[in-house]
Amino acid sequence: MLKNFQNIGPGFLLAGAAIGVSHLVQATRAGAEYGWILITALLIACISKYPFLMLGPRYTAATGKNLIEGYKRLGKFQYYTYAVITLGSMFIILAAVSLVTAGIAAYFIPLEISLTSWCIMLLTLCFIILFLGKYSALDSSMKIIISLLSLLTFCAVIIAAIKVDHSKIMNTHPSLTSMSSIAFIIAFMGWMPIPIDASIWHSIWTKEKSIQTGKKTSAQDAIWDFNIGYIAASAIGILFFMLGVLVMYGSGMEFSSSSVQFSAQLVNLYALTLGD
């Protein structure tokens, strides 16, 4: 058992990568605006993506190469198609995650600087950590962050479940037939628990783990690690969804479009349940 836990690494990175706009924004908003009715959509998304995301670490364990190298071996068309798709989405995703993170930082550290400045500072900090500490620093920090976040969110959900008036939640039935609701559900399922292209990131991290340890990752270890990370990513997504249902659904509270105000609302979810 100890050996298995020592092999965990890329799985925690997968869970950490998942907890961004998908969990903090989409999952919480889904629970807050639609209640329990979208729990089925969330579970379908988590279950259906499992085999596709597992391909990344399994491929690397079998070949010693990441999926990008695998695409390149298939031919130029597959390789450049992936490159175009990545270039078309990476800046949008990075901007969205950076804004939410900057909003949270601005809430806790009220400096008189713009969100753009916060984004630059945070991205620079991430670059320094990766440049100096490389994979090992990222691996170690994510294990701590994911463990603490999981524990705190679980406690918040338990306390909220004890306090909430469940009859109010169960007696409300939002409509899912409007175009805005359908569009939200599609985006929600696409984001949760993490986009499918994360299989490529996981394959890269699995290869880096092998380089760091000087030992080839076996298929069994790769799948064990993936299962830990994917289950954690899915479970935390469900917890954020539940937090939105238990604390915000039916309360009349609406999410702000401002990243700073949204971050304040998100932090208040914890304050309302765990205390200040």
Contact (CB, 8 A) for 229 and 139: no
Instruction: Assign 142 a pLDDT band (cuts: 50, 70, 90).
Output: confident
| Predicted local confidence at residue 91, as pLDDT | 86
Tokens of 183: 């569009």
> What's the CA gap between 102 and 179, in Å, rounded?
31
Q: Which residue has the higher pLDDT, 159 or 8?
A: 159
Kind plus residue range of the DSSP H or E element containing 87: helix 76-108
Please say if the pLDDT value at position 117 is more than 90: yes
pLDDT at 238 over 90: yes
Q: Of 5-9, 27-31, 229-233, 249-253, give the range with the top mean pLDDT.
A: 229-233
* Residue 137: Cβ-neighbour burial (10 angstroms; 0-12, 13-18, 19+): middle
Q: How far apart are the first and last CA of the chain?
A: 38
Whole-angstrom distance, CA of residue 71 vs CA of residue 65: 10
